Amino acid sequence: MNRINPDGQNNIASMRKAAQACAHRHLFHMMPPQGWTNDPNGFVYYSGSYHLFYQHNPYAAQFGIIHWGHAKSADLVRWEPLPVALAPDQPYDAGGCFSGSSVVHNGKLYVFYTGNDKDSIQTQCLAISEDGLHFQKYENNPVIAAPPEAVKPTQFRDPCVFRRGERFYMVVGAENKGCRGQVIVYISDDLLNWSYLNTITAGDDTLGYMWECPNLFFQDDRAVLILSPQGITGYPQFNSSHDSGYFVGHFDEATGAFTHGGFHKLDPGFDFYAPQIAANIPDRSVITAWMSTWETPAPTSAHHWAGSMILPREVRVKGDRLLFAPVREIEKYLKPVIAVGAVSGGELPPLEAAAGRLRVSAENKDFTIRLFCSADGREYTEISYSADICAINLDLSHSGEAARGTRSVTLEYAPDILDIYLDRSSVEVFINGGEYVMTARVFPHQGSSGIRILGEAVFQNVSLWGFAVHP
For 300, phi and psi rounded to 5 degrees?
Answer: -70, -15
User: In 3-state terms, the chain is what percent helix, strand and coil (to 5)?
Assistant: 5, 50, 40
Assess contact for 352 and 345: CB atoms under 8 A. no
Nearest to 316 by CA among 142, 404, 208, 435: 435
In eight-state DSSP terms, residue 331 is G
Assess contact for 138 and 121: CB atoms under 8 A. no
Assess contact for 310 and 76: CB atoms under 8 A. no
- Selected catalytic residue, list 7, 39, 119, 252: 39
How many CB atoms within 10 Å of residue 345?
14
- Per the DSSP assignment, residues forming a β-bridge with 322 are 317
CA–CA distance, 218 with 189 (Å, rounded to integer): 20
For 30, phi and psi rounded to 5 degrees?
Answer: -70, 135
Paired sense of beta strands 35-46 and 305-306, if any: parallel
How many CB atoms within 10 Å of residue 104?
16
Q: Is 39 a catalytic residue?
A: yes
Instruction: Write out the H or E segment, with its range, that includes residue 9.
Output: helix 9-20
Amino acid at 89: D
Query: How far apart, in Å, do the first and last CA atoms of the chain sit?
Result: 36
In eight-state DSSP terms, residue 302 is G
428 CB burial (10 A radius; 0-12, 13-18, 19+): buried
> What one-character-per-residue DSSP string does 32-69 give?
-SSEEEEEEEEEEEETTEEEEEEEEETTSSSS-S-EEE
Residues annotated as part of the active site: 39
